[in-house]
Structure 1
């Protein structure tokens, strides 16, 4: 039995002077078979805005550009992208960041995986690809291995991403006092980034829109976590690959608390931490003994990292971010 290929609308968000990478992504989406691509211009410089407009004019309606007057952050911009794409009349909406390049066949694999979830009796579904730094087989295999073995903090008890149990196990593994965690079985995710997410338009209507008061960071995780919270399935499709180059980072890789003290952008650090703590406190009991213990561990790690890096200024940003999260002060409180 064969199935007719469903219609798909693509959507992406760009800003600054990123028109070249954005148009490369748009081209890949069209090559994969999407009917139209909606580009939300989130405050591009004039030259980039003009290039985007020229691409739209020459696309016979397959590229649509909608412009925001300034960079409003990812949450409002992707909210506009989701709202516009789900009203485009297509059955599915495919979201990509403006530097995410899907490998050939990625869209068909995502569609097949979502169809399998639906055939299994699930109505509220979405699927996310494997995001790798490049398309080399070795890189993809390493990414699969790392993601399979990664133990994420339990948001119901963690504080600022710190979970004492996970921290202790990782430390023992680093000291070679415990064997590394083996890959886990299962393909469901608790949440996922926007980049590569595929969902039916009717599912996105049920989910609503991202929280604009998050501004940026964590809005995608909060948005997609609504799927599991409502009893749905968010599938991880590891044979659908999206190249996510992850260029120069404002926060270096490695131990995350230490990375906060080495970060190069105080505004991004503020939103990253504020939204994470706010999201955690809304999950599980707000103040359980385990949460209090993890908060105390986070404070101790911050002091230790400040001493080790000899950088105390990030402490002010961390203090403000945590304070605003505890008080529920969201919205645009730092310029980006």
Structure 2
């Protein structure tokens, strides 16, 4: 019997994590195990997890903060090496609706397993679109336009908030790049599968999750609060790697996108224009020296 593992990466969000776990365990019809990857939380997460008596929930503490990228790298390796056939990944502040996994599995069956990944629709707390988790629809989605009547549309990138993979795809693609630490690991990984490997990937409109983010303003270096400015060094460095891998067309897009953001900073930023500009420019140029490798993985001959 085919087995599914939900991989949840957590860091210092004990209460949200437990809401997430309860919603996964309450999924209708399709059953999955849950692998919790704790990036060395300091809020009592480990103690809270020790109270769980549910055998379907397994927990590992990484011992250090690996960032989101490192956490998903760790968790996806764990799932594949444990012999699971499918891997459903999400952050700890993701609350799937009761039929979210059932709808992903229905799409899997309709597509007969011929896809790279499936992505849920991500809403914010007010029931509207979560801007941080907007998928990028493939321009030639009409190649599979017949799927629209089922609420399925072809995409080329998505976030790690409710993403569903066959384990075989992870083995072919390798793992997310842990050196990204935060930001852009999902962009690189989904584009690796859809653009560089050429696999068809889809958003499943009937599979819905809520992302319990504090705000729904998206992320922009030009407008974000001052204490978050330094985090954008990861974003622009990581995107340099991603689009560099897609050749001249990818790099032109990346440079144009970065140039537009610099213009927004100069014209519209409310404060710290010099610091914002230097973070962006330094990350763009520094990104050319950022050359992490991709870790390979294989499935066990005998399930653990």
Shared fold (TM-score greater than 0.5)?
yes
1:9 corresponds to 2:5: yes
Give 2:47's aligned residue.
50
1:129 corresponds to 2:125: no
Cα distance in structure 2, aligned partners of 1:69 and 1:89: 24
* 1:279 Cα offset (Å): 1.7
Residues 310 and 210 (structure 1), Cα distance of their counterparts in 2 relative to 1, 3 Å cut: closer
Q: TM-score, normalised on structure 2?
A: 0.79
Preserved CA contact (<8 Å) 2:100 2:208? yes
SS in 2 for 1:90: coil
When Rg is computed on C-alpha atoms for both structures, the one with the higher figure is 1
**Unaligned residue ranges in structure 2 (runs of 5+):** 140-150, 294-304
Preserved CA contact (<8 Å) 1:118 1:125? no
Residues 52 and 304 (structure 1), Cα distance of their counterparts in 2 relative to 1, 3 Å cut: same
Give 1:195's aligned residue.
161
* 1:293 Cα offset (Å): 5.9
Among 257, 278, 281, the residue aligned to 1:319: 281
Cα distance in structure 2, aligned partners of 1:283 and 1:45: 39
Give 1:231's aligned residue.
198
Cα distance in structure 2, aligned partners of 1:147 and 1:213: 24
Cα distance in structure 2, aligned partners of 1:96 and 1:25: 9
* 1:62 Cα offset (Å): 1.4
* 1:315 Cα offset (Å): 2.3
Alignment of 1:235-274 (within 5 A): 235-248=202-215, 252-253=217-218, 256=220, 258-260=222-224, 262-274=225-237
Residues 88 and 31 (structure 1), Cα distance of their counterparts in 2 relative to 1, 3 Å cut: farther
Residues 107 and 64 (structure 1), Cα distance of their counterparts in 2 relative to 1, 3 Å cut: same
Preserved CA contact (<8 Å) 1:42 1:68? yes
Give 2:68's aligned residue.
74
Give 1:212's aligned residue.
178
Preserved CA contact (<8 Å) 1:117 1:125? no
* 1:296 Cα offset (Å): 4.9
SS in 1 for 2:175: coil
Q: Deviations over 1:42-78 (max 9, x none)?
A: 01116222112222xx12x311111111211111110
Preserved CA contact (<8 Å) 1:92 1:199? yes
* 1:190 Cα offset (Å): 0.9
Preserved CA contact (<8 Å) 1:113 1:235? no
**Unaligned residue ranges in structure 1 (runs of 5+):** 154-184, 332-336
Cα distance in structure 2, aligned partners of 1:304 and 1:194: 32
Give 1:105's aligned residue.
99
Preserved CA contact (<8 Å) 2:221 2:276? no
Give 1:167's aligned residue.
none
Q: TM-score, normalised on structure 1?
A: 0.72
- RMSD of aligned residue pairs (Cα, Å): 3.2
Residues 11 and 314 (structure 1), Cα distance of their counterparts in 2 relative to 1, 3 Å cut: same
SS in 2 for 1:130: strand
Matched positions, count: 278
* 1:289 Cα offset (Å): 7.0
Cα distance in structure 2, aligned partners of 1:289 and 1:45: 42
1:283 corresponds to 2:283: no
